[in-house]
Amino acid sequence: MLFETIRRDAHCVTILDQTILPLAWQNAQITTLEQMAQAIRSMQVRGAPLIGASAAYGLALGLLEDTSDTALTQYLATLESTRPTAVNLHWALARMDAFLRPLPVSARSEAAWQEADRIREADIAANHAIGKYGLSLIKALTAKHGGPIQAMTHCNAGALATCGWGTALAPIYLAHEAGIPIHVWVSETRPRNQGLLTAAELTANEVPHTLMADNAAGFLLQEGRVDMVIVGADRIAANGDTANKVGTYLKALAAHAAGVPFYVAAPWSTIDLATPNGRAIPIEERNGNELRHATGKLADGSTAQVACIDAAETVFNPAFDVTPAELITGIITERGVFAPHQLTSH
């Protein structure tokens, strides 16, 4: 990949600031737990797997100051409160807590950095395994339909959302690398426009793609111009119901009506067996100004935020929706591809 979303340099962390992408590519240095919590909250880092790794490093930053039980509990609570829907955050913090709590207080700080490194490295490995399992699905579609395969995605589930190759984009990258003709339909994903990040990624990696308005997805599926839909996930319930960026459910409905396979790609850490179904997944509602304003580049090359509507306008801005398991063809993980009902048996 052509960029790093997160890395640690001794006892500080460098992130790629995603709030200004794709208009500018700029790193930010994070030196405190509070800075990392704000980076997660403000979406300087985003994507469920990357949020999990970032939270782990945030805890390590906090433990530079105080390694007591009281501080550990407080730091965990601060980080857990940043984003409610993406379960990888809570999974990573629970893993850190289970690893650190039994250790002597004096050993916790350095151990936290080592465990955070392992979480990051495990995500990179999971991304590649997801890519290989997803590649087998693309090869099967190529054998059936010929090429190029027309794939549709939503939001950004690529390298920018993870520590490595990405989830939904990993099979696409591997297919492209293997010389399998593939073209990606990329929806803009209002209001945060994460689809623009996907387009920027695919451009950087020379993968053929076309950016489209979110509302064009149903038309393309209805016209038979899509062979597969593949998206990421922020939380997958035990029954296979999946929370992902708002607008995913509409694509799943349209894909189902058109008879197009709909895949979810995510590491196993995104599967929350303690959550029985989609109704139990907390859905984050974000600040309405994300809808009231838009950010763009001006003619002189500078960027600016402009108002799209009056500040008093009432808006509704859920960050996620839930796609029912019955609309999902398969869930691609680092352990293999599973039907939604198979998750609890693996």
Known catalytic residues are 234
C-alpha span between 117 and 138 (Å, rounded)? 32
Task: Give the count of beta carbons closer than 10 Å to the beta carbon of residue 24.
Answer: 11
Taking the CA atoms of the chain, what radius of gyration do you get in angstroms?
20
- In order of 63, 74, 128, 273, 292, the CA distances from 67 in angstroms are 5, 11, 35, 31, 42
C-alpha span between 64 and 44 (Å, rounded)? 22
DSSP-derived 3-state class of residue 271: strand
Q: What are phi and psi of 223, to 5 degrees?
A: -80, 0
Token pair 């992130």 in the structure block, residue? 15
Token pair 């950004």 in the structure block, residue? 156
C-alpha span between 28 and 12 (Å, rounded)? 11
Q: Which amino acid is at 294?
A: A
